[in-house]
Structure 1
Amino acid sequence: MRLALIGGTGFVGAALLNEALQRGHQVTALQRDPSRLPARPGVDVRQADVLHAAQVSDAVAGHDAVLSAYNAGWQNPDLYEEFLRGSRAIAEGTRAAGVQRLLVVGGAGSLYVAPGVQLVDTPDFPAEWKQGALAAREALNLLRQETELAWTFVSPPVFLDPGAKRGGFRLGGDEVLMDAGQPARVTVGDLAVAVLDEVERPAHVRRRFTLGY
């Protein structure tokens, strides 16, 4: 498959890139600064600013799916606004390019810990992650209003660890997955496996899913 990847130099995006290449997919990586992503076989790096839908559309046209691991930067003082602006532009650009499939890796903050209570709204949610989590929640809400794209939103578990894929993870829906009474965790390698599995064998179209051991 021809996959367009946004955020390929980040923690999650780099894992998605590696997993996609291992499976033999051709990847076009959208980069604001192409010099940040070294050349490698199977990867076409294209300059594109994902805050602009027209640039996204030009870069993703002709692809089978768009994978977004977009992050506006945890230290960005305008994180909330810029994340939403980018999320809107990515969806708009994907739609304008005629690409139906959009997979977005968001956050765990919008997962439910109890009926009507999302993780981001709990008292102990870390303040340094809150604006990003609120933005990701709003991005999911916007996708849920989308009627044209075959979107999927992937929420990692509460604990997303560095490390290679090891297998044995479970999939869930809109609730925080637990493991022996504690929030579940998963490696970024297995998160990438779950995302690429969804690309190849869609099972959560116009839905969110999560995962964990």
Structure 2
Amino acid sequence: MKLALIGATGYIGSKLLAEALARGHDITAIVQHPEKLPAHAKLTGIAADVTDSNALAGQLAGHDVVISAFSGHAQADVYDYYLAGFKGIVTAVKAAKVPRFVIVGGAGSLEIAPGVQLVDTPEFPDQWKGTALGARDALNLLRAETTLDWTMLSPAAHIVPGERTGQFRLGTDQLLTDANGESTVSLEDFAMALLDEVEQPKHRRSRFTVAY
């Protein structure tokens, strides 16, 4: 498949890139600094500004799927920057007429009890709140969409470097925890779950989650 990956040099995006290349896909990595990308025969790097939806649409045209690992963590005003960027990406995907849009979501919008989301608990770390709230609003925007064929994958509460095991569970809108009450997934298994969804869609126009 021909995939466009936004944020391919980031914490999660770099693992998605490695997984997609290992599966033999042709990747256009859309990033701020293409020079940070590895050299690979099936990888093309393009510098882009996600808030410039007109230019971005031209860069996305012709792909089978757009994967967004855009986060905005490096910005001072993470929430506003994330939402502005996300809206720019959505506009560009529509204009480019790309058939599918797959998004890296956040764990913050997952429920820990009926009607109670993780981001609204006192224990939720302040440093991640801007992105979590932005990702929650992005999910709500997607749920109101009438034309996009979208899927969002939210990670466990803790997504950390580890191993590619393939031994994980999938859920929908509730935070998944293990027998010890921990909610964790490796970056490698998250990437595997997302690329599985890209190749064989099972969660069209919905959000799902992955954890051990």
Q: Shorter-chain TM-score: which interval?
A: over 0.9
User: Corresponding residue for 2:27?
Assistant: 27
Classify the secondary structure of the residue corresponding to 1:27. strand
CA contact (8 A) 1:48 1:56 kept: yes
CA contact (8 A) 1:176 1:183 kept: no
State the Cα deviation string for residues 4-50 of structure 1 (Å, max 9, x = none).
Answer: 00010011101110111111100000122222223322101112111
Q: Supply the distance in 2 between the matched residues of 1:163 and 1:49 (Cα, whole angstroms).
A: 31
Alignment of 1:81-96 (within 5 A): 81-96=80-95
1:55 Cα deviation from its structure 2 partner: 2.0
User: Corresponding residue for 1:15?
Assistant: 15
**Partner amino acid, structure 2, of 1:189:** E
**Partner amino acid, structure 1, of 2:153:** V
User: Corresponding residue for 1:51?
Assistant: 51
1:76 Cα deviation from its structure 2 partner: 2.1
User: Corresponding residue for 1:184?
Assistant: 183
Q: Supply the distance in 1 between the matched residues of 2:53 and 2:39 (Cα, whole angstroms).
A: 25
Deviating beyond 6 angstroms after TM superposition, the runs of 4 or more aligned structure 1 residues are none
Q: Over aligned residue pairs, what C-alpha RMSD do you find?
A: 1.0
State the Cα deviation string for residues 123-176 of structure 1 (Å, max 9, x = none).
Answer: 111111111111110011111111111100110001111023111101000000
Q: Supply the distance in 2 between the matched residues of 1:48 and 1:89 (Cα, whole angstroms).
A: 12
Q: Supply the distance in 1 between the matched residues of 2:142 and 2:56 (Cα, whole angstroms).
A: 17
CA contact (8 A) 1:165 1:189 kept: yes
Classify the secondary structure of the residue corresponding to 2:45. strand
Classify the secondary structure of the residue corresponding to 2:80. helix
Alignment of 1:46-125 (within 5 A): 46-73=46-73, 75-125=74-124
User: Corresponding residue for 1:171?
Assistant: 170
User: Corresponding residue for 2:41?
Assistant: 41
Q: Supply the distance in 1 between the matched residues of 2:70 and 2:37 (Cα, whole angstroms).
A: 15
Q: Supply the distance in 2 between the matched residues of 1:164 and 1:211 (Cα, whole angstroms).
A: 15
State the Cα deviation string for residues 99-141 of structure 1 (Å, max 9, x = none).
Answer: 0200000110000011111000011111111111111100111
Q: Supply the distance in 2 between the matched residues of 1:143 and 1:10 (Cα, whole angstroms).
A: 23
Q: Supply the distance in 2 between the matched residues of 1:38 and 1:193 (Cα, whole angstroms).
A: 20
State the Cα deviation string for residues 165-200 of structure 1 (Å, max 9, x = none).
Answer: 111101000000011141321110000000000001
Q: Supply the distance in 2 between the matched residues of 1:7 and 1:64 (Cα, whole angstroms).
A: 17
How many pairs are equivalent? 212
Please list every run of 5 or more consecutive structure 1 residues that lacks an aligned counterpart in the other structure.
Answer: none
Q: Supply the distance in 1 between the matched residues of 2:31 and 2:167 (Cα, whole angstroms).
A: 33
State the Cα deviation string for residues 44-64 of structure 1 (Å, max 9, x = none).
Answer: 111211111112211110000
1:78 Cα deviation from its structure 2 partner: 1.2
User: Corresponding residue for 1:4?
Assistant: 4
